[in-house]
Amino acid sequence: MAKFVRVIDTERCFGCRSCVAACAVENHFTPESPWNVMVEYETGHYPNTARNFVTMNCMHCEHPSCKAACDAAGFKAISKNEFGVVLVDYDKCVGCGYCATTCPYGVPQLNGAKVEQLYPGAEKTAYEQMGNLSPLHRKKARTVEKCTFCWHKLEKAIAAGRVNEIGKTPDFTPTCDLVCPVQARLFGDIDDPTSNVSTYIARKKATQLKKAFGTMPQVYYVLNGGEY
């Protein structure tokens, strides 16, 4: 069985936020509920100053605390599938926000009373009126949403029996990983010891963030210094 992970190389990342923009467009951005965020911060004191860039999205943890909280509350709106992807079922979510409080990474985004349109006060664009959307892109008020590893792409690969193309071809690769100008992001199957992600993690000593929580994230980082 394939298990999909992402590697983010902060040594290469230069903070362009293209992954942030591409995620928003691909996943029909809900204003104020980003799925992907660039954390940019300085360390040191002039002139020995550094700036660090760490993009964050859902870690798709092996032991997702969000799911544990949701299950304990009895809603069971969060699932983790056999490919390692953690998803929120918008129809089951009641918007309690428990997942948001338990996630060590601040990932789940609880929508407000109204899903705002992209250009407030103006006509809705044709993009916003597109039909035929993946259920994951039909955003709801008072509902939690978050990064899906672009599950709407992965599920097509799985359905078509083209799992081996995941992380390789644009149709079957999360869009944030596709657009990076410096190949600071990779996506692939960690169960395959010869995969791009398996070898990269080993070669560049990638690790997970905030290991103390024991959630075992499926997003690995090559770190560039600073505080984590």
117 vs 198, which CB is nearer to other proteins? 117
Candidate segments 77-85, 153-161, 190-198, binder of other proteins by CB under 8 A: 153-161
Among residue numbers 76 through 105, which ones bind other proteins (CB under 8 A)? 94-98, 100-105
Among 1, 46, 161, 194, binds other proteins (CB under 8 A): 46
Among 79, 80, 142, 191, binds other proteins (CB under 8 A): 142
When asked if residue 158 is in the footprint of other proteins (CB under 8 A), the reply is no
Cα-trace Rg, the chain: 18
Secondary structure tally for the chain: helices H, strands E? 6, 9
Q: How big is the site for other proteins, counted in residues (CB under 8 A)?
A: 103
Q: Residue 110: which H helix or E strand, with range?
A: strand 109-110
Exposure pattern of 41-76 as b/e (b: 16+ CB <10 Å)?
A: eeeeeeeeeeebbbbbbbbbbeebbbbbbbeeeebe
**What values do phi and psi take at 29, rounded to 5?**
-45, 130
Min dist CB 70 to other proteins, Å, is 10
- SS3 category, 144: strand
* Per-residue contact flags (x/-) with other proteins for residues 159 to 198, judged by CB under 8 A: -x-x------xxxx--x--xxxxxxx--------------
102 vs 195, which CB is nearer to other proteins? 102
**What values do phi and psi take at 158, rounded to 5?**
-65, -45
Cβ-based neighbours of 127, under 8 Å, separated by 6 or more: 118
Candidate segments 78-86, 148-156, 192-200, binder of other proteins by CB under 8 A: 148-156
Among 3, 12, 80, 140, binds other proteins (CB under 8 A): 12
Among residue numbers 109 through 138, which ones bind other proteins (CB under 8 A)? 109-113, 116, 118-123, 125-128, 130-132
Among 3, 158, 192, 213, binds other proteins (CB under 8 A): 213
Cβ-based neighbours of 2, under 8 Å, separated by 6 or more: 83, 163, 166, 189, 191, 192
Min dist CB 191 to other proteins, Å, is 21
Q: How far apart are CA 110 and CA 71, in angstroms?
A: 17
Cβ-based neighbours of 207, under 8 Å, separated by 6 or more: 220, 221, 223
Min dist CB 36 to other proteins, Å, is 8
